[in-house]
């Protein structure tokens, strides 16, 4: 009987230690509650040198933080579908700082197969007015106790054109010479 109570006491101590060790993790998750979700957008796709069987693309992802706290991005992974078909997938272990109330563009080199590219070309060529819709889904890995955040974003080529137009430098407004009325 004594041996059983000793084992039970030891189990209780281990459980209590485990709960105390996990308490900071719970606090970290709780502090994420009430915060706005981080936004991930497709910023651009650029072809890179490729081989006959493997095509490489640079995919720029714009990460936007609407919160009053900066985050350290420790890596990410994603899948990019275009017009309902997989185009590419990518991973990155590059660290980036996502400033409070700011944004950062993270470039990721992705790989796609010859079959994926051929499927995209056939689907694109079959459209009377070539347009594309995309779906971007993946996971951001945050440094420290923050864990990871899943993301999903859908859009179209029209969204990308609007984004590019909004980022284009605007000409300076003409001003009247000093002293003229």
The CATH number that applies at residue 82 is: 2.60.40.1820
pLDDT in tens, 69-101: 999 999 999 999 988 888 899 999 999 999 999
Evaluate whether residue 89 is within a structural domain: yes
Which residues neighbour 84 within 8 Å (Cβ) at sequence distance 6 or greater?
133, 135
Evaluate whether residue 14 is within a structural domain: no
Q: What pLDDT is stored for residue 162 in this prediction?
A: 63
d(CA 60, CA 5): 60
Which residue matches tokens 């609407």? 66
Evaluate whether residue 176 is within a structural domain: no
Domain span holding position 92:
36-165
pLDDT in tens, 101-145: 999 999 999 988 888 878 777 877 777 766 778 999 999 999 987
Q: What pLDDT is stored for residue 39 in this prediction?
A: 94
The number of folded domains in the chain is 1
Rounded alpha-carbon distances, angstroms, from residue 93 to 25, 133, 142: 23, 27, 11
Would you state the structure tokens that stand for residue 21, as one six-digit string? 């060790």
Evaluate whether residue 110 is within a structural domain: yes
Kindly tell me if the per-residue pLDDT of 30 is higher than 70. no
The pLDDT mean for the chain works out to 76
Evaluate whether residue 116 is within a structural domain: yes
Evaluate whether residue 62 is within a structural domain: yes
Evaluate whether residue 70 is within a structural domain: yes
Q: Count CA within 13 A, CB hemisphere, residue 74.
A: 9
Evaluate whether residue 18 is within a structural domain: no
């Amino acid at each position: 009987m004594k041996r059983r109570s000793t084992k039970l006491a030891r189990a209780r101590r281990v459980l209590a230690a485990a709960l105390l060790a996990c308490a900071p993790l719970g606090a970290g998750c709780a502090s994420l509650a009430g915060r706005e979700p981080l936004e991930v957008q497709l910023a651009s796709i650029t072809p890179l040198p490729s081989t006959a069987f493997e095509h490489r693309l640079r995919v720029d992802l714009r990460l936007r933080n609407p919160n009053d706290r900066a985050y350290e991005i420790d890596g990410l992974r994603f899948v990019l579908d275009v017009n309902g078909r997989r185009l590419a997938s990518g991973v990155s272990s590059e660290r980036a700082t996502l400033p409070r109330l700011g944004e950062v563009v993270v470039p990721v080199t992705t790989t796609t197969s010859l079959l994926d590219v051929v499927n995209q070309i056939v689907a694109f060529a079959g459209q009377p007015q070539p347009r594309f819709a995309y779906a971007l889904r993946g996971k951001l890995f945050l440094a420290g106790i923050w864990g990871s955040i899943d993301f999903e974003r859908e859009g179209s080529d029209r969204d990308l054109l609007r984004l590019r137009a909004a980022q284009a430098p605007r000409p300076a407004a003409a001003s009247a010479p000093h002293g003229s009325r």
